[in-house]
Amino acid sequence: MMKLRIGHLSTMYHTSFILMGTDWLEKAGIEPEWKLFGGGPAIVHALENNELDIGYIGLPPTMIGIDRGLEVKCIAGGHVEGTVMITTPEFRTLEECRSDRILFLEQFKGHLIACPPSGSIHDVIIRNYNKEAGFENDIDVLNYEWADMIPEAIADGEIKVAVGTPSLAVVAKRYCDAKMVIPPEKLWPDNPSYGIVATCDMIENSPDTLLKFIKLHENACEFIRENTEEASKLVSDTIEIIDADFVKEMYEVSPKYSAGISEDYIGSTMRFVDVLNELGYISKKLEQKDIFDLHFVEELEL
């Protein structure tokens, strides 16, 4: 049995919760050691401290780590378009503003936009969204180390605007009387909301284990795509604090799940290079070979 130290988030649409709720990994000879983190940057720090072998993580924080000298690669995809914006009822949606970004953002002057940790994919997307429209000095972003704290802040009236995962959209709708004002495909098309990142040491010394993991990761992605109701029940039973309808609604907010690494996934990732550089998160222009190792997904023909 090969031990695998896996960093994951509380993000329920990640396949981590499918794999936790089944014995697929154990049957494949993998003994998983799951470690929960509050955001992608925290997983990067754990990888830097040699506390993990692989992680479920958005690509921007991975790129920030690589820029600092972290020796990791993205070896599989997972999901695209996992960032949404939600608000309390009084604000207009982007569609109601005729997709005019300036008209839309003007209504948030003087408000804070709550967001997962600094350097997370959500943080980079919303800061870039504001910057491109010329609002970077008019609308501040408030980062939370644990994204799970954001719905509570909305419910308490501390904030009225937030960006985050599809899970946030469903929680905010159910418990905070909030609504989605920008759907995931409108903030940054094909953005790499998460992938599977592995240390170069694991890639070099344990490729068979990684290949097994990615195969099961894709099986879990397919399970979500093809058997959404069953997958929803499994995740609900695994987490125990949410119902299956919640999980199903979350899956439907942004339904693009795959372990493959498409050209669009790569292209969208590489768009982040200039943005991360302009925002001061990285110091040099990373190339595709610095970020990706495609031979696992190519071998599995994903």
CA distance 290 to 268: 15
Q: What's the pLDDT score for residue 148? A: 84
For domain 2-81+191-299, the question of CATH label 1.10.3720.10 is answered with: no
pLDDT of residue 240: 87
- HSE-up (13 A, CA, CB side) for residue 24: 18
| Cα 168 to Cα 84: distance, rounded to the nearest angstrom | 8
pLDDT digits (tens, 9 = 90+) for 105-164: 999 999 999 999 999 999 999 999 999 999 999 999 999 988 889 999 999 999 999 999
3-state DSSP helix/strand/coil % of the chain, to nearest 5:
45, 20, 35
CB 124 within 8 A of CB 191: no
Is the distance from CB of 223 to CB of 231 less than 8 angstroms? yes
Task: Please report the pLDDT score of residue 181 as a whole number.
Answer: 97
What's the pLDDT at 261?
Answer: 97
**Nearest residue to 247 via CA among 169, 161, 162:** 169
Please give the helix or strand (H or E) that residue 34 lies within, else none: strand 30-36
Give 39-105 as a 3 state SS string: CHHHHHHHHHCCCCCEEEECHHHHHHHHHCCCCEEEEEEEECCCCEEEECCCCCCCCCCCCCHHHHH
CA atoms within 13 A on the CB side of 256: 21
What is the distance between the alpha carbons of residues 49 and 34, in angstroms, rounded to a whole number? Answer: 16
d(CA 55, CA 44): 8
Amino acid at 159: I
Pairing of strands 2-8, 54-57: parallel
CB-CB contact of 265 with 77 (8 Å): yes
- pLDDT for 147 equals 84
Q: Which residues contact 170 (CB under 8 A, 6 or more apart)?
A: 246, 249, 250, 253
CATH homologous superfamily of 84-187:
Periplasmic binding protein-like II (3.40.190.10)
Q: What is the pLDDT of residue 241?
A: 85
Instruction: Locate the domains of the chain by residue range.
Output: 2-81+191-299, 84-187
> Given this chain, do its domains 2-81+191-299 and 84-187 carry the same CATH topology?
yes
Low-confidence ranges of the chain (pLDDT < 50): none
pLDDT at 290: 98
Q: Which one-letter DSSP state was computed for residue 131?
A: H
Per-residue model confidence (pLDDT) at position 146: 84
Distance CA 256, CA 253 (A): 10
148: which DSSP letter? G
